[in-house]
Amino acid sequence: MGRLLRYPVKSMLGEELPAVEVSERGLSRDRRFALTDRDTGKVASAKHPRLWHRLLTLTARAEGRAVRITTPDGKELWSTDPGVDDALSEIVGRRVTLTDIPPHQATLDRADPEDVLRDDSEPPVSAREGQLGGGSPRGTFFDYAPVHLLTTSTVARIAALTPAGTAEAERYRPNIVVRTPHGSGFAENDWTGRDLRIGADLTLRVIARTPRCAIPTLAHGALPADTAALRVLADHNRVTPLDSMGPQPCAGVYAQVLRPGLIRLGDPISWT
């Protein structure tokens, strides 16, 4: 296993971990909080970049039961601060509330990836509404399932197909980056339906390939915007994520937790 990452606030930048407990609700403290739009009631997500791209300028780190949010200029906000909602509203340009309780039947807006590729001069205006967490336990902020995996071979393949010759796993927001032979390309495409053990106890079931949205194309902190992060997938890995969907640009896979456990960097990974 190559890297462990979690994102304590949905759509904000996250943190790397040396070890973490994983339960049926995913990595401990992952997507523990999110912003909700006070005007629409929807969950804020950079999947609708025209409204929420500023979320990716903020870095969230879990500190005990609270979350510390760092702004681009180094200012720190805490989830426990009385004025945190107003401060975040000023940063993102919308009236928002930081919450750890998802709205009933929580929804978010998602820009069509084809619109992103059609005109990359500015974020799309339109977006489709979708439900959160179709493959997750209730009361969570995951887009679909509680664990997201990405292989180093997929990152290497994307890099080989981009004009710049580079690719960054961070753009795809995985929880677990799995080391795989670089010649194996989009290795995760063949994982759906299989069970994966990491370390002594954690067992995951891979349930779907991960369809990609606008987020990989956006600036992530110091990483500049890069439309190739999505265009490469649209051109070279357009596959079916779920039986209910048509072919989509994909990278990585979603998984559910069959058996919880503590995992550490360097833990062995095997199929069960």
**Chain segment 136-158, per-residue pLDDT in tens:** 998 899 999 999 999 999 999 99
Nearest residue to 196 via CA among 39, 22, 41: 22
- Could you tell me which residue, 61 or 118, shows the higher pLDDT? 61
- What pLDDT sits at residue 120? 64
Mean pLDDT score across all residues of the chain = 94
Cβ(123)–Cβ(60) under 8 Å? no
Can you read off the two tokens belonging to residue 46? 């950079």
pLDDT at residue 33 tops 80: yes
Instruction: Count how many domains the chain has.
Output: 1
- What pLDDT sits at residue 121? 59
83, burial (CB in 10 Å: exposed 0-12, middle 13-18, buried 19+)? exposed
- What pLDDT sits at residue 183? 80
Q: Specify the pTM.
A: 0.95
Quickly state the pLDDT bin for 259 (edges 50, 70, 90). Answer: very high
C-alpha–C-alpha distance, residues 79 and 10, integer Å: 13
C-alpha–C-alpha distance, residues 65 and 229, integer Å: 34
pLDDT in tens, 212-242: 999 999 999 999 999 999 999 999 999 999 8
pLDDT in tens, 160-175: 999 999 999 999 999 9
Q: At what angle do helices 228-236 and 152-161 cross, to 10 degrees?
A: 100
- What pLDDT sits at residue 226? 94
Structural domain of 197:
3-271
- pLDDT (average), residues 239-262: 94
CATH number at residue 93: 2.40.33.20
